[in-house]
Amino acid sequence: MKRWMAAAALLAGLAGCAAQPAAKLEGPPAGRIVETASGKTLSPDQLLDKLAPAEMLLVGEKHDNRHHHRIETWLAQRLAASRPQGSALLEMLTPGQQPKVDDVKAWLQGDPSVRPSRVRELVAWQSGWPWELYGELAMTLLRAPYPLLAANLDREQMRAYYASKERPQGRASRDPRAASRLEEVIRGEHGGKMDEGMMASMLAVQQQRDRRMAERLLAAPKPAMLIAGAYHVLRDVGAPLHLADLAPGRPATVLVLAEEGVELGRGQADYVWHTAKAGD
């Protein structure tokens, strides 16, 4: 009864909202796409042909780069048009938001009149992920007919892992080289100032988030596309290590969206889409 009443209240709130048409993309986004195995430059359509067969696709972004979000929206639209899409997963969503996302998504399948700003409120979109950057992607995925799934941990879970310093088990995810590389990244993002205890806590949280993304990706309807920060999808430090521990031999494809000047090899990604910098 409580769930029915909540759904009724949700529908009532939506019914009074005015429409705002979804933005239409004008052709493929700009950038330079490289296949790391061959070094060849690909067109956006050639990349789509490469990505379409992927059972699990991991897309890594720089969070504040609007070009990356435009590419993600374009990928979501074009991949779904080229073959059935099983699901999409976002680092930007947490388990606590999933019931709200499910309710709003079910309602949006009727193509109602609703402002994106109202949808942002109804799914409790977190302010740490600016809606002006993520709104178009979020609306595209929420209006799509396939499931949109949370891929992150809740804040309480992160606090628990921070306190316990518990890291996931597994040969690949426990590789000292991966831990060392992640420590470099964490230290760099905090200005190099970090004691051993804080580093152990931050490393545990980062790897537990990667483990959750891998678990959710494996459980999601296929083909599945995960969108997350670039370090979460890199083969040498991110969720692919946990996929190797949880499902050895299960293929996954990694596409990293990177600003020009960032160089990545085949040990980190299958494809790299180089873009302008965030402020350009």
pLDDT at 212: 98
Task: With a cut of 80, say whether residue 8 has pLDDT above it.
Answer: no
Residue 28: is it exposed, middle or buried by C-beta count within 10 angstroms (0-12/13-18/19+)? middle
The residue written with tokens 């100032």 in the block is 193
E-only strand ranges, the chain: 32-35, 41-42, 56-61, 87-90, 148-150, 224-229, 253-259, 271-275
92: nearest Cα among 130, 66, 122: 130
Residue 254 sits at the vertex; the CA angle it makes with 230 and 161, to the nearest 5 degrees, is: 50
Distance, CA of 72 to CA of 76 (rounded, Å): 6
Question: How far, rounded to the nearest angstrom, does the alpha carbon of residue 250 sit from its chain's CA centroid?
Answer: 19
Q: What is the dihedral of CA 30, 105, 93, 157, to 10 degrees?
A: -170
| Residues with Cβ within 8 Å of residue 165, at least 6 apart in sequence | 197, 200, 201, 203, 204
pLDDT tens by residue, 151-197: 999 999 999 999 999 999 999 999 999 999 999 989 988 777 789 99
pLDDT tens by residue, 203-245: 999 999 999 999 999 999 999 999 999 999 999 999 999 999 9
pLDDT at 28: 83
Output b/e per residue, 156-195; b: 16+ Cβ within 10 A.
Answer: ebbeebbeeeebbebebbeeeebbebbbeebeeeeeeebe
pLDDT at 85: 97
Output b/e per residue, 249-268; b: 16+ Cβ within 10 A.
Answer: eeebbbbbbbbeeeebeeeb
Output b/e per residue, 108-135; b: 16+ Cβ within 10 A.
Answer: beeeeebebebbbebbebbeeeebebbb
- The two tokens of residue 47 are 């990349």
pLDDT at 280: 85
* 247, 231 contact by CB (below 8 A): no
Rama region for 17: left / alpha / beta (φ>0; ψ in -120 to 50; rest): beta
* 150, 94 contact by CB (below 8 A): yes
Write down all domains in the chain, each with its CATH number in brackets. 30-275 (3.40.50.11550)
pLDDT at 122: 98
Task: With a cut of 50, say whether residue 2 has pLDDT above it.
Answer: no
- The two tokens of residue 163 are 């306190």
| Residues with Cβ within 8 Å of residue 184, at least 6 apart in sequence | none
Q: What is the CA radius of gyration of the chain?
A: 19
pLDDT at 25: 52
Task: With a cut of 80, say whether residue 16 has pLDDT above it.
Answer: no
pLDDT at 17: 43
Task: Write down the mean pLDDT value for the chain.
Answer: 91
Number of H helices, E strands in the chain: 11, 8
